[in-house]
Structure 1
Amino acid sequence: MDKLLSLCMIVKNEEKVLARCLESVQGFVDEIIVVDTGSTDQTKAIALQYTDHIYDFEWINDFSAAKNEAIRRATSQWILVLDADEYLDTDQKDELRTFLSKTDSDLPIGYVLPIYNFIETIQSGKFLESTAVRLFPNSPNLYFERPIHEQLVYRNGEIINKNYPLTLFHTGYLAETQLEKEKSSRNLNIFKDLKSSKNFTEYDYFTLGNEYLGIKDYKKALYYYERALTKNAETLTIFPFCRYQIVLTLIDLRRYKDALTYIEDNIKRWPQHPDYYSIKASVYENLGLYEESIDYYLTAIQKAEDYKGKDDRFWLITPTLGTHTPLSSLVRLYQRAQNIPQAVYYLTKLVNLNDNDHLSLFRLLNLLIQNESTPSILTFLGKIFNFELPQHLNKLLHVSLLLGHKELCQFFYQECAKHNIALQPYQVLYYAVIFNDQERFNKILTDNKELTNSGQVNKLLFYAAILWQDNTYGHYLSESSNEDDLSLLLLQNIFNTLFDSHESDEEIIFDINFIVTLLIDLFKMGYYDSYDWLIQQYPLYFNILANLLGDYFYNHNQIQLAVDYYSLLLKNNQLSGPGYYHLSLIYLNQGETTEGLSYLQTAIERCPEQATWYILYANYSPSSAHRDTILQKYRNEFHQYCQIEVIQQKIKS
């Protein structure tokens, strides 16, 4: 065989991700084999842009059969198997090809590759790591068996498994992907056929538990995970992952006592890793044990930093439990305690950890602009980002636009111009709104009519119409060719009722979340008259808007603004439970315990389902009849938590 490496894939309706996968293997592989099991979208047309080796295969509920068809057609010495929702780390191309050219392809060997499974968004950097044999010699004696979660086997004996550090990135576990592809429904049907053969293993019970967890059937997931934990399972690679999934499932079921029992045992089994210290912290946080939670999150970070293993792998299940999870949780807990310096400290660590974490960058800058001058903020950012790199400047401009901060926007806009960085038209529109430049806004909008009917631009049209009191911007909302777009129809109706005369408030079409977003952004940009005008258009909904705005300002550390709204609502007896809770925190954090407990008691009366609020009350309240009454209500409402020893200590009389 003259060719070194073939990529073999099976696909069905993968038009959204296939090109990314095939782009990532350019320069890695010498041929691409694609077996299609019944696509009805543009999958095959996309594949044709990369290869002529596309073959149809009738789907028979058997992944192994389809994959064996693909590897049967390969003509290279080595085979790489990928799913369409996976892609390679392109920096490893030369190293891989050199390695394969020097390795004996006559041996029955399978290389186990690390797979990073993203669990939120790609930008979040949060993932679970798994492994699988994906790289092996092209031999008729190597083939796949089992209809689902297929395994590579050797016809004449045992296959030799070795690790190789070629990183695969997998997006198939993202929530939107699961919804689009309905993978779990398909896989459960295959498991049903497999169970009827009475050939179920611990691995099958584990993967079946994963399927039920994916569709949030937690009780069935737990049942199958526990079936997988036989004595034999302790020798299998799935063992730590199965115990991890059991803990997550118990947490989802709010069986915190059982989860903590597993967690304590797992800490004894794997004390050197941060994973279960971080998970224990999250359980304590869910219970309202915030000080204890902080201690365990800090322990998790320390465990990750102190790990002295033979490699750099400090984690047992996922590195995020020693990095992103405890860091972001500490930000949340310190902001709750109004300890802003500590919140800034851990947000800075998050941004240093992943400079593509736009949410952490936004939250960091949102705190800094309230307390620091623009020059000091720019000096600070210069230590994290390179102002000579286009991607860094564009990112910082984007976040500055979202913050509505004029000085930062102006600086990064000018830096982008100085470095000849092409901006997206919507960014220029945003800039024009922030700087009250209607002429520039109109020019960009006229020159880029294809922009209309995107979520970002539609919101900017509302800003423009409100800021310049010009209802002609509503015409751009009417140019959609998709009459079935309900969200766009809603925006059109909101716009029309906002700017057309109406006789009664009952006729106003109202989307609370959209209007609150507009109000917040107008406030951030400093357009206070426009802010007042908009809120006055909805007098019937003022109390709802005021509660949400007060909560927003509180959560973004603009405490005085939050108190202003809460005070107004208190006068009207319209303050919500969360508002009372936030007021209680403000007073308690300032050492004004009597007032804080008074507000907290009302918050609990308004929202008795908030278990953590009772624990906060227990932490601050002295012995009294009020305390006994509130904690007895906690025992009645959350009796299952009262079996946890640390909770028992908190609520004892």
Structure 2
Amino acid sequence: MLLSLCMIVKNEEKVLERCLESMKEIADEIIIIDTGSTDRTKEIALKYTEHVYHYNWTNDFSAARNEGIRRATADWILVMDADEYLDPKDASSIRTFLENEPIRDNQIYNVSVVSFVGETMNTSTVAVAPVLRLFPNHQGIYFNRPIHEQPYSTKGVPLKGADAPITVYHTGYLGQTVQEKEKSQRNAELFQKRKNEDGLAAYDYFTIGNEKLGVNELDKAIYYYERALQKKSKQSGTSGQIWIVYCAISLIECYLRKNRLNDAWTLNEKYVQPLDYPEYHSIKGQIYHFFGHYGLASESYNEALRVAEWRAEKYKVFWLTNAGYGSVIPLKGLQQIAENHSDHDKSIYYLSKLILNSKHDYQAITKLLELLLLRESHEAIVKLMSELLGSRDAAHHLTLFKISLTIGAKELAEYYYKQLESIRIQPSDLLQYALLSGNQELFNQTLEKQDLPEPNEKLLQNFVWAKWTWQTDYTKNLKMNKTDEQYELFQLYLDIAENKEADLQDPTVTSVLYKLLTGLILNQQFELYDSIVSRYSHPDLINLLANFFFSKQNYEVAGSYFSMLLQNDQLNTKNCEQLAFYYLNNQELDEGLVFLEEAISKSPSRIYLYTTYFQYSTDRNKKTEMKTKFERQFPQYMKLPFIKEMLQSV
């Protein structure tokens, strides 16, 4: 026999069949070590193999792995977990590789494990790592370490790693799975046991860091990643040092989230730069972007895309740790820069690329539709979205319908509503569509025929809009007890629906009014909007509304609000920043710099504002003053080479 598949399982009824179905044409022998399943795991396993064995769990993954290896009889052994699977189309190429590969007692093989990381498959990102899973049988190769087990030779020979042309897909890091299995707690106990018995190696610290990052304990993750890199030079392993790069990139990602840009830059240059992958350029782009060096950021993002494209043509995998570094991250960065500079053509281009990369990127779809509505006909928009998402996909039609409601695109909503005749639409979406289309009959029918969900904020908004629009008190259809968690919010909506007095100093009141008023604008109820905003006018609310109209590129209305706020000295940082970039993008430099100075004065910690100021200002004295302020505000960044260069030129 050519290949034995060895697995350890426990309560894997949700995923085991997917795994075994993917392996039935690849493996000659399947060996299942069950460590105490209480669900249908054994029943499913027995459909594919008679080699299903019970094993008393001893808190040691290696011991369980080795139990399977001892029972294997084929020439090669592949180790997998139940939440992993292969593409059955690869069966032929995998077997051809094994048939032609010579067996050596010191050679083991990495398979490429593609992990989906996130809450769900639709919203996940991809992380890739080479993992030692394939090795020749009968050569004394087993596993040690109770967790994140590693192969070793009982003959005492050093094992050498090589890459096998095998890709394994892994869903065990999806949020729901992690929660169900309580992996983090289980693994923490195993690590503590190992620490008490043998002490921790560099690789242990790396894997603990992964555990801490997985549960979003950022400071602890940084500590363990740093310990791993500190110890790595003192400890050698039989599996090579590739994990060090993965550790460095994970630590860089943590540094970026904590704004430790010096540390991120240093690690990127030391560990990632020597490798020809998009990760290096994407990380540089993110750092440049943070500092407002938009030209350098664009160059780095584009280089990341170029390297990814080159590697995709030459190799199957174009990334090192995460496909996003060669696609989503640089594309989002470039789109944000284009948006910041009001370059709508480039924005549309990058948003389209993002959607082609992921048809579930709802944020990109929403932004693209908003931009297209400013310049294209509805027919042209429908045509483009069909090309990007598929013209016959009901799920995409439903997505586009919901987004059209969210952005108040009446004609688009009507078009996609007609495409959904055979699809059930949620009652709250039907109510919102009835409001947007001015169809009170549909609103009433929905209330009569549909089972409404429990009262939520979206439903409250719809009922208040309907009361204002049609002078009918639909809020009576909602029932909520005083003991319910959202009762106070519920009552606030009812009070505003009745035009009662409200405490405009309360941020919750401001938030509710903002949502209701912007909803009226999106539902094209302009007269109602004017009457209500005049009744509840307050600087905090006007600030929010000014930013809203500015983001929708309705500069006339936004400008009137900005003028009102300016006259009363009530502009906030966001207002000043928006006005600064608006004037600078339109080459009205004097006005732009005045608002930029005001934004920096109000929010001196926004470092990209200084960079923009240095770029546009020609007043040497003012630039020198701003340089002094920058150095005093950000001493931690003075060692970065591009910061030094920027300040030297001031």
* TM-score band, normalised by shorter chain: 0.7 to 0.9
Report whether the alignment pairs 1:577 with 2:573: yes
**Aligned with residue 441 of structure 1, among 440, 443, 458:** 443
Following TM superposition, by how much is the alpha carbon of 1:238 offset from its aligned partner in structure 2, in angstroms?
Answer: 0.5
Secondary structure, aligned partner of 2:399: helix
Secondary structure, aligned partner of 1:612: helix
Report whether the alignment pairs 1:243 with 2:248: yes
Following TM superposition, by how much is the alpha carbon of 1:601 offset from its aligned partner in structure 2, in angstroms?
Answer: 0.9
Following TM superposition, by how much is the alpha carbon of 1:557 offset from its aligned partner in structure 2, in angstroms?
Answer: 3.8
CA distance in 2: counterparts of 1:179 and 1:27, whole angstroms: 25
**Aligned with residue 525 of structure 2, among 524, 527, 532:** 527
CA distance in 2: counterparts of 1:37 and 1:450, whole angstroms: 43
Partner of 1:165: 166
Following TM superposition, by how much is the alpha carbon of 1:235 offset from its aligned partner in structure 2, in angstroms?
Answer: 3.5
**Aligned with residue 264 of structure 2, among 259, 263, 275:** 259
Partner of 1:229: 232
Partner of 2:380: 376
Secondary structure, aligned partner of 2:192: helix
Go from structure 1 to structure 2 and tell me whether the alpha carbon gap of 1:63 and 1:48 turns closer, same or farther (over 3 Å shift).
Answer: closer
Give TM-score, length-normalised by structure 1: 0.81
Report whether the alignment pairs 1:151 with 2:153: no
Secondary structure, aligned partner of 1:200: coil
Q: Which amino acid counterpart does residue 493 of structure 1 have in structure 2?
A: Q
CA distance in 2: counterparts of 1:493 and 1:56, whole angstroms: 58
Following TM superposition, by how much is the alpha carbon of 1:71 offset from its aligned partner in structure 2, in angstroms?
Answer: 9.1
Following TM superposition, by how much is the alpha carbon of 1:59 offset from its aligned partner in structure 2, in angstroms?
Answer: 7.3
Report whether the alignment pairs 1:295 with 2:299: yes
Partner of 1:15: none
Go from structure 1 to structure 2 and tell me whether the alpha carbon gap of 1:242 and 1:501 turns closer, same or farther (over 3 Å shift).
Answer: closer
Instruction: Report the more deviating stretch, 291-300 or 123-132.
Output: 123-132
CA distance in 1: counterparts of 2:496 and 2:551, whole angstroms: 28
CA distance in 1: counterparts of 2:476 and 2:58, whole angstroms: 52
CA distance in 1: counterparts of 2:305 and 2:453, whole angstroms: 44
Partner of 1:274: 278
Following TM superposition, by how much is the alpha carbon of 1:178 offset from its aligned partner in structure 2, in angstroms?
Answer: 6.6
Partner of 1:203: 203
Secondary structure, aligned partner of 1:383: helix
Contact 1:9 1:70 (C-alpha < 8 Å) held by counterparts: no
Instruction: Report the more deviating stretch, 562-571 or 181-190.
Output: 181-190
Go from structure 1 to structure 2 and tell me whether the alpha carbon gap of 1:64 and 1:594 turns closer, same or farther (over 3 Å shift).
Answer: same
Following TM superposition, by how much is the alpha carbon of 1:360 offset from its aligned partner in structure 2, in angstroms?
Answer: 0.8
**Aligned with residue 318 of structure 2, among 311, 314, 319:** 314
For structure 2, the 5+ residue unaligned runs are 25-29
**Aligned with residue 359 of structure 2, among 352, 355, 361:** 355
CA distance in 2: counterparts of 1:603 and 1:357, whole angstroms: 32
Aligned sequence identity (%): 27
Q: Which amino acid counterpart does residue 114 of structure 1 have in structure 2?
A: V
Contact 1:393 1:412 (C-alpha < 8 Å) held by counterparts: yes
Instruction: Report the more deviating stretch, 569-578 or 515-524.
Output: 515-524
Provide the aligned length of Structure 1 versus Structure 2: 627
Q: Cα deviations across residues 182-207 of structure 1 (Å, max 9, x unaligned)?
A: 75455344323322333533321222
CA distance in 1: counterparts of 2:254 and 2:147, whole angstroms: 23
Go from structure 1 to structure 2 and tell me whether the alpha carbon gap of 1:57 and 1:463 turns closer, same or farther (over 3 Å shift).
Answer: farther
Q: Cα deviations across residues 472-514 of structure 1 (Å, max 9, x unaligned)?
A: 33543528xxx8762x334423223323574663798935445
Partner of 1:640: 636
Alignment of 1:14-163 (within 5 A): 21-22=15-16, 24-25=18-19, 27-28=21-22, 61-64=59-62, 81-82=80-81, 86=83, 88=85, 92-93=87-88, 96=91, 112-119=111-118, 122-124=121-123, 126-132=125-131, 145-151=144-150, 163=164
CA distance in 1: counterparts of 2:134 and 2:468, whole angstroms: 58
Q: Cα deviations across residues 34-82 of structure 1 (Å, max 9, x unaligned)?
A: 96779xxxxx668699679999998765444676789999999988643
Instruction: Report the more deviating stretch, 139-148 or 598-607.
Output: 139-148
Give TM-score, length-normalised by structure 2: 0.82
Q: Cα deviations across residues 401-450 of structure 1 (Å, max 9, x unaligned)?
A: 32221111111222233xx4444444433322221222222322332325
Go from structure 1 to structure 2 and tell me whether the alpha carbon gap of 1:530 and 1:81 turns closer, same or farther (over 3 Å shift).
Answer: farther
Instruction: Report the more deviating stretch, 287-296 or 544-553.
Output: 544-553
Partner of 2:27: none
Following TM superposition, by how much is the alpha carbon of 1:549 offset from its aligned partner in structure 2, in angstroms?
Answer: 2.6
Go from structure 1 to structure 2 and tell me whether the alpha carbon gap of 1:332 and 1:202 turns closer, same or farther (over 3 Å shift).
Answer: same
Go from structure 1 to structure 2 and tell me whether the alpha carbon gap of 1:474 and 1:161 turns closer, same or farther (over 3 Å shift).
Answer: farther
Following TM superposition, by how much is the alpha carbon of 1:553 offset from its aligned partner in structure 2, in angstroms?
Answer: 3.4
Partner of 2:223: 220
Partner of 1:41: none
CA distance in 1: counterparts of 2:505 and 2:588, whole angstroms: 45
Contact 1:260 1:280 (C-alpha < 8 Å) held by counterparts: yes
Instruction: Report the more deviating stretch, 554-563 or 395-404.
Output: 554-563
Report whether the alignment pairs 1:625 with 2:621: yes
Secondary structure, aligned partner of 1:384: helix
Contact 2:4 2:31 (C-alpha < 8 Å) held by counterparts: no
Following TM superposition, by how much is the alpha carbon of 1:295 offset from its aligned partner in structure 2, in angstroms?
Answer: 1.3
Q: Which amino acid counterpart does residue 291 of structure 2 have in structure 1?
A: L
Alignment of 1:395-406 (within 5 A): 395-406=399-410
Contact 1:35 1:70 (C-alpha < 8 Å) held by counterparts: no
CA distance in 1: counterparts of 2:136 and 2:428, whole angstroms: 50
CA distance in 2: counterparts of 1:96 and 1:472, whole angstroms: 60
For structure 1, the 5+ residue unaligned runs are 12-17, 39-43
Go from structure 1 to structure 2 and tell me whether the alpha carbon gap of 1:179 and 1:543 turns closer, same or farther (over 3 Å shift).
Answer: farther
Secondary structure, aligned partner of 1:526: coil
Contact 2:31 2:71 (C-alpha < 8 Å) held by counterparts: no
Report whether the alignment pairs 1:545 with 2:541: yes
CA distance in 1: counterparts of 2:228 and 2:337, whole angstroms: 32
CA distance in 2: counterparts of 1:396 and 1:445, whole angstroms: 24
Contact 2:466 2:474 (C-alpha < 8 Å) held by counterparts: no
Partner of 1:564: 560
Instruction: Report the more deviating stretch, 590-599 or 119-128.
Output: 119-128
Secondary structure, aligned partner of 1:114: strand
CA distance in 1: counterparts of 2:498 and 2:56, whole angstroms: 57
Go from structure 1 to structure 2 and tell me whether the alpha carbon gap of 1:533 and 1:304 turns closer, same or farther (over 3 Å shift).
Answer: same
Go from structure 1 to structure 2 and tell me whether the alpha carbon gap of 1:303 and 1:115 turns closer, same or farther (over 3 Å shift).
Answer: closer
Go from structure 1 to structure 2 and tell me whether the alpha carbon gap of 1:301 and 1:164 turns closer, same or farther (over 3 Å shift).
Answer: closer
**Aligned with residue 468 of structure 1, among 467, 470, 482:** 470
Partner of 2:497: 499
Secondary structure, aligned partner of 1:127: strand
CA distance in 1: counterparts of 2:508 and 2:151, whole angstroms: 57
Contact 2:427 2:452 (C-alpha < 8 Å) held by counterparts: no
Q: Cα deviations across residues 155-214 of structure 1 (Å, max 9, x unaligned)?
A: 67788976353442436265x877887754553443233223335333212223334444
Instruction: Report the more deviating stretch, 272-281 or 211-220.
Output: 211-220
Instruction: Report the more deviating stretch, 189-198 or 27-36.
Output: 27-36
Q: Considering only aligned residues, what root-mean-square deviation do their CA atoms show, in Å?
A: 4.3
Report whether the alignment pairs 1:330 with 2:334: yes
CA distance in 1: counterparts of 2:519 and 2:565, whole angstroms: 22
CA distance in 1: counterparts of 2:357 and 2:209, whole angstroms: 33
Following TM superposition, by how much is the alpha carbon of 1:285 offset from its aligned partner in structure 2, in angstroms?
Answer: 0.9
Secondary structure, aligned partner of 1:269: coil
Following TM superposition, by how much is the alpha carbon of 1:6 offset from its aligned partner in structure 2, in angstroms?
Answer: 8.0
Q: Which amino acid counterpart does residue 600 of structure 1 have in structure 2?
A: L
Go from structure 1 to structure 2 and tell me whether the alpha carbon gap of 1:583 and 1:45 turns closer, same or farther (over 3 Å shift).
Answer: same
